[in-house]
């Protein structure tokens, strides 16, 4: 019998918190089901988005969890989070896979173990074991991750007015890897200070429900966002349109190309992309819960 877990999409970085901050949101979700078998492998991929088994983060994540908890399993991935859009698609599959393995074995991992297992899935498909998206999808709400030592903290965010706008142009294979390669190896102390300060303000704004502060805070990134903006077609026009329509802050969701808007202005941003010849969808998002037991997806 299939044992299934669902995990939600997420927006990582939230401006200044590169690889550290992420918010789980209800834009989309993935469901991963497992059942005991002789060999651990993906046997079924369904849903709106067909991510081939060999590029699916669920496999490495489930393997890592099974190594600790024992056993092996066949895996069914039902993909609802669009891949390659900066919405934590691989993170959602990986987090759901780890939770499904816990449910199947009837054993629990510590938070850090679970997030590390899920990050193995990220590493497999994006080349880097960044744990921000997986921590958000696994734990829900707002998360902050530190790597050395490895720690994960979770906050219950207030429900603020947030939108993600998703452009549907073709993105190259290995998009996240490419979006990491444009970043510098080192940053100046001045920029580091700005990012640390901005990250603290992002957390404070979510905890106090301060929309103005969140808008300011998500734009306090002098390092990652400006470089990645160059990779996103029409980013400047889209950003400007959102701001003119009332957005309090605009940043890139994860490695992009989707954007995260604080306050209104999502429709204007989508219109700006359409004027550039790119179809775009606006999603009003709320913070989502962490990975949880779910029934097997209906395929009817
Ligand atoms: N923190 C990661 C990055 C998220 O920005 O590369 C990727 O989804």
**Contact (CB, 8 A) for 82 and 19:** no
d(CA 91, CA 241): 30
pLDDT digits (tens, 9 = 90+) for 10-19: 999 999 999 9
pLDDT of residue 300: 65
Question: The CATH number of the domain where 256 resides is what?
Answer: 3.30.70.890
* Same domain assignment for residues 193 and 139: no
70 C-alpha vs ligand 1 centroid, how far in Å?
A: 30
pTM > 0.85: yes
Residue 298 belongs to some domain of the structure? no
pLDDT of residue 173: 83
pLDDT of residue 124: 87
Q: Which pairing describes strands 41-47 and 73-79: parallel, antiparallel, or unpaired? A: parallel
Q: Does ligand 1 have an atom closer than 6 angstroms to the CB of 12?
A: yes
pLDDT digits (tens, 9 = 90+) for 84-114: 999 999 999 999 999 999 999 999 999 999 9
Residue 141, CA distances (Å) to 18, 31, 152, 244, 287 in order:
17, 18, 12, 29, 5
Question: The CATH number of the domain where 28 resides is what?
Answer: 3.30.230.10
* Same domain assignment for residues 110 and 90: yes
Of 212, 225, 204, residue with least CA distance to 142: 204
Which among 15, 16, 18 is the best mutation to test ligand 1's pocket, defined by most ligand atoms within 8 Å of the CB? 18
Sheet holding 259-263, edge to edge: 247-252, 259-263, 162-167, 280-285
pLDDT digits (tens, 9 = 90+) for 138-173: 999 999 999 999 999 999 999 999 999 999 999 988
* Same domain assignment for residues 24 and 127: yes
d(CA 127, CA 165): 26
Q: Which pairing describes strands 162-167 and 259-263: parallel, antiparallel, or unpaired? A: antiparallel
Tell me which H or E stretch contains 45: strand 41-47
Residue 266 belongs to some domain of the structure? yes
**Contact (CB, 8 A) for 23 and 136:** yes
**Contact (CB, 8 A) for 132 and 108:** no
Is residue 54 over pLDDT 90? no
Which among 9, 10, 13, 179 is the best mutation to test ligand 1's pocket, defined by most ligand atoms within 8 Å of the CB? 13
């Amino acid at each position: 019998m299939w044992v299934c877990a669902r995990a939600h999409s997420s927006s990582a970085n939230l401006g200044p918190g590169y690889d550290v901050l992420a918010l789980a949101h209800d834009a989309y979700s993935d469901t991963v089901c497992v059942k005991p078998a002789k060999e651990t492998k993906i046997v079924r991929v369904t849903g709106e988005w067909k991510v081939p088994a060999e590029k699916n983060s669920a496999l490495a994540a489930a393997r890592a969890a099974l190594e600790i908890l024992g056993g092996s399993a066949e895996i069914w991935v039902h993909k609802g989070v669009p891949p390659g859009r900066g919405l934590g698609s691989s993170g959602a599959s990986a987090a759901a896979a780890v939770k499904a393995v816990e449910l199947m074995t009837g054993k629990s991992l510590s938070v850090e173990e679970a997030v590390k297992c899920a990050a193995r899935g990220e590493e497999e498909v994006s080349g880097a074991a960044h744990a921000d998206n997986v921590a958000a999808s696994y734990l829900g709400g707002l998360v902050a991750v530190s790597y050395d030592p490895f720690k994960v903290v979770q906050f219950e965010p207030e429900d603020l007015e947030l939108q993600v706008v998703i452009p549907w142009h073709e993105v190259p294979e290995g998009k996240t890897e490419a979006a990491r390669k444009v970043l510098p190896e080192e940053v100046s102390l001045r920029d580091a200070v700005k990012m640390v300060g901005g990250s603290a303000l992002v957390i404070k704004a979510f905890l106090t429900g301060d929309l103005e502060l969140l808008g300011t805070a998500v734009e306090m990134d002098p390092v990652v966002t400006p470089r990645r903006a160059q990779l996103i077609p029409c980013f400047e026009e889209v950003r400007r349109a959102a701001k003119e329509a009332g957005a309090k802050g605009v940043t890139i969701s994860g490695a992009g190309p989707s954007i995260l808007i604080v306050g209104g202005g999502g429709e204007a941003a989508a219109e700006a992309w359409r004027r550039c010849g790119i179809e775009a969808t606006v999603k009003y998002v709320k913070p989502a819960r962490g990975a949880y037991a779910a029934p097997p997806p209906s395929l009817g």
